[in-house]
Amino acid sequence: MARTKAAPIRREPSSEYTAGELKRTASGRVVEEENETVAEKVEREIADAVVVVTEPGKKEAGVVTLVVCVAGIYASFLTWAYLQEKLTTTTHGPNKERFKFSVFLLTIQSLFAGLGGLFFTWVSTPKGERMKSPVPNRGILAPLLLVAVTNALAAPFGYAALGHIDYITFILAKSCKLLPVMALHVTVFRKRYPLYKYLVVAAVTTGVAVFTLHSGSKKHKAGGGGNSGQTGWGMLLLGINLLFDGLTNSTQDYIFGVDRSYTGPQMMAANNLLSGALTGGYLLMSPWLVRTGVGRWFGMDVAGGGGELVAALEFLGRHPRVWRDVLGFAVCGCVGQVFICELFLS
């Protein structure tokens, strides 16, 4: 039988290398993103998540880290709150002077936390890599400026509210911050949540509100009625404080969603340095601002027309021991932010 030469086999290039956009996943598989079905995508993401979590060398937030960070957050911010109340309520000297320079205090804390954020960014940078900038690109500069503005404005409104309402009411109302955060996410950033999250926020907010109102009604009866006008003004100031807090948190979430490589230490450094620059600029301009109509309406003149910066330094010159509480307040705020970044944002 005569041998016939078989036709050469034509080898088609694998579609794995020609069709669509290829991507090698964390689990080692090469997938084609264009032709991937929804079910395959979900299965791939689950597999990749398992690999990332169990991959050797990856940083895992274990039980020890969780306990240390939670304990650090509670210890630092409880001390921070104690020093805040001590600073604003303690009288000094024969004239019973009180420390009432909230913007000066916020500026000192922002500078400490900004430098702490830069140090934290440097420490968390892998060896051999370049330290990341707090503002890595122009795309997130505008949201970062918005965060700095709302963060800088929130604290003065909170301190002003404390002049008209008691500290317990202030703390309990601040516990309702979930409500403005969620509301701004839904209205401004068009984010949607599952039904159970709305129910959880509603339940927490309602419980806190009922507790606050019940406690307030007892004090109202015991105090013979109180000054409802002053309390109403304090609640309005507190509401503005909560609005700014909510806008700060929701904008930060937006930034992390837009730039996935942005880290907590970078946010800590950028937020505090920009806030410190804004409040520092206000302190330098306060002698002029207090003489304007806006300054008089908002009651910015806490220093008799001389400006808050000069008045704060003069007060600390007369009562140098207060420096210890001011610096302790700033250090506690910085350390608390570091623990938050380590636990939630790293």
DSSP 228-273: HHHHHHHHHHHHHHHHHHHHHHHHHHHHHHH-TT--HHHHHHHHHH
Task: Tally the C-alpha atoms within 13 A of residue 199's C-alpha that lie toward its C-beta.
Answer: 3
DSSP line for 87-153: HHH-EETTTTEE---HHHHHHHHHHHHHHHHHHHHHHHSPTTSPPPPSS-SGGGHHHHHHHHHHHHH
**What pLDDT, on a 0 to 100 scale, did the predictor assign at position 7?**
53
pLDDT in tens, 300-333: 655 666 688 888 999 999 999 999 999 999 999 9
Structure tokens at 36: 């991937």
Between β-strands 30-32 and 91-92, what pairing exists: parallel, antiparallel or unpaired?
Answer: unpaired
pLDDT at 116 over 50: yes
Cβ burial, residue 282 (10 Å; 0-12/13-18/19+)? buried
β-partners of residue 23 are 31
Residues in the chain: 346
Let me know if 25 is exposed, middle or buried by CB neighbors in 10 A (0-12, 13-18, 19+).
middle
* Whether the predicted model's global pTM rises above the 0.95 cut: no
Query: In 10 A of CB 215, how many CB atoms?
Result: 14
Token pair of 86 as six digits: 């001590």
**Mean pLDDT value of segment 19-43:** 47
pLDDT of residue 295: 62
pLDDT at 226: 47
For 126-133, the CB contacts below 8 A with 24+ separation are 132/263, 132/266, 133/266
Q: Cα separation of 239 and 180, whole Å?
A: 10
Tens of pLDDT, residue by residue over 144-187, are: 999 999 988 888 788 778 777 777 777 777 766 667 777 777 77
* Mean local confidence (pLDDT), 266-285: 92
Encoded amino acid at 188, one letter: V
Give the whole-angstrom CA distance, residue 331 versus residue 149: 22
pLDDT tens per residue across span 277-302: 999 998 888 778 767 766 666 566 55
pLDDT of residue 55: 38
